[in-house]
Chain A
Amino acid sequence: MTDSSSATKPPASVGELVATEVERAILRNIKGLTYFASAAPAVGQTPKDRVRSQGTYVLYHYRPVTRELYRVPVLIVMAPSNRGYVFDLAPGQSLVEFLLKQGYDVYMIDWNAPRADEKSIRIEDYVLRFVPDAIDFICKDTRVHDVTVLGYCMGGVLSVIYAALQAGGPLKNLICIATPVDFSGMTHFHTWTDRRHFDVDRLVDSVGNIPPTFLVEMFRMIRPADRLAMRIRLIDNLWNDEYVAAFRRFDGWATDMLPLPGEYFRESIKELFWEGRLIGNTLRVGGRRVDLRKIKIPLLHVIADRDHFVPYEASRRLVESVGSRSKLELVLNGGHVSVMAGVGAAKRVWPRLDQWLGERST
């Protein structure tokens, strides 16, 4: 591998500047070849055990790294459309690793691609079957009777619904990250799934599970110029190993989406996007009404100020809608993913998360 250390140093004079640019140009050519020839960098390397698995549902337990743990374990609930390794991209860029080093006992609900026979999975299955199964397991495994749930994006929505239905249950704290509750605020998605044009029944009935390509393209269309600009930036930075590795990890994750169970998709579109039932406290799951005001446990909601997928308008009403006395909304610098998994998150976000959670985990 060619040494790029001198290419990263800021040039002091015009001569050095020219030399740096020439060196970078050479490195771009050399590393451009290795980019295509080499495998993508490894992700999700923090040691863990798969402790539960049932079709699309998988529960992992990360091995503790400290000699003393906080009493309350943490359960991360990933969005059903995405892979959980975004929180464990690389050593030093891993929320999971950070939490372990701070002394938390960390579990994660991650998802396998749903099988064809799992197209009938609904919100009810996630909220009344998978999440409770994980929490029961954790309580038995740790011999602790309460758990902190940390939900990301739609994983946050599932966590919020669970918390509302299990008021007084085994939840100690709820942390939501970039979690939409008012789906009319997701203007792009809301427009594209407008009931006047979008025949969700026809789509689900014809394809069963919603293919990931459909979801990837939908996300890309929100920022249509990003893809080209990011490719050009990648070429510009091909000399920089760290940039290339980070790009490949993020880009690999963003395109590594999962199919969505058809019924879950149908229900989300109809109940959440069209009818706005979650924020209206009229959503019914398993025959029970989801009333956000019933959430009384401490709540932290982390929102990214440059989130184009879940804009502030979609997420801002969560904190005001719950009945918790201890609740905090943190609007922090970042995008939908980078706010929690980006390089800057380690400095800006995780310490504040730890500070909030630490005092509520004893």
Chain B
Amino acid sequence: MNDRKLQDPMEFFRNMLTNFQESGNTILGQTMRTEEFTRLLQGAWQLSAFSEKAVGAVMEQCLAQMHLPSRAEVAELGARLQRIEDMLNQLVSERFGARARRTGLPRTRRPPPVAGAERPKPVAKKARRRARRAAR
């Protein structure tokens, strides 16, 4: 296995990529957890949300001028149709669904006896340590 790794010319590149990914995530992750970045991020989110709202309002006015329904009106219409469809589904399901799907399969299954099988181990110390490291 080791021999094959040594022979593989792409292995060096793949290791480099993994290292880049890990160090990139660590460095950028630390930067992104700073207060300055958080403030910047909030600004960007708010700007994005408000610009979306402003564009929406302008579009709505334009569509009204052209006697076309706005996105909200179409969505409302869609929602009404969806509610009707939901009610129909519910009625059909209650009326026919259970009967059609009821298979009459016996609910008597038991877990297969596994002699000497390993029981689930409580939290492995190594795994817990690994998880703590990842959290840091």
Using CB atoms and an 8 Å cutoff, list the residues of chain A in contact with chain B.
10-11, 14, 17, 21, 49-55, 61, 63-64, 66-71, 103, 105, 115-117, 140-142, 144, 185, 187-188, 191-192, 194, 197-199, 202-203, 206-207, 211, 214, 221-226, 228-229, 232-233, 236, 303-308, 311-314, 316, 328-333, 352, 354-356, 358-359, 361-362
Ordered by A's residue number, 28 sampled pairs between the chains whose C-beta atoms are within 8 Å are: A51-B93, A52-B93, A54-B86, A55-B83, A68-B106, A68-B109, A69-B107, A71-B109, A105-B107, A116-B72, A141-B102, A197-B39, A203-B46, A224-B29, A225-B20, A225-B22, A236-B14, A303-B131, A305-B128, A306-B131, A308-B134, A311-B131, A313-B132, A314-B135, A329-B123, A332-B127, A359-B111, A362-B109
Bound-state CA distance A305–B133 (Å) is 9
Known: A116-B76, A312-B135, A313-B135. A233 touches B42 (CB 8 A): no
Bound-state CA distance A352–B117 (Å) is 11
The answer to whether A54 touches B7 (Cβ under 8 A) is no
The answer to whether A64 touches B105 (Cβ under 8 A) is yes
The answer to whether A305 touches B39 (Cβ under 8 A) is no
The answer to whether B42 touches A188 (Cβ under 8 A) is no
Encode B19-51 as 1/0 by CB contact (under 8 A) with A. 011111100110011010011011001101110
Whole-angstrom distance between the Cβ of A65 and the nearest chain B Cβ: 10
Whole-angstrom distance between the Cβ of B89 and the nearest chain A Cβ: 5
- Interface status of B116 (Cβ within 8 A of chain A): no
4 shortest interchain CB distances as A-B pairs: A225-B24, A358-B111, A312-B131, A311-B135
The answer to whether A207 touches B42 (Cβ under 8 A) is no
- Interface status of B67 (Cβ within 8 A of chain A): no
Main DSSP-derived SS at the B contact region: helix
The answer to whether B130 touches A306 (Cβ under 8 A) is yes
Bound-state CA distance A225–B26 (Å) is 9
The answer to whether B120 touches A352 (Cβ under 8 A) is yes
Known: A68-B108, A116-B72, A141-B98. A305 touches B130 (CB 8 A): yes
CB nearest to A17 among chain B residues: B7
The answer to whether A11 touches B127 (Cβ under 8 A) is no
The answer to whether B8 touches A17 (Cβ under 8 A) is yes
The answer to whether A207 touches B53 (Cβ under 8 A) is yes
The answer to whether A225 touches B8 (Cβ under 8 A) is no
The answer to whether A307 touches B76 (Cβ under 8 A) is no
The answer to whether B105 touches A225 (Cβ under 8 A) is no
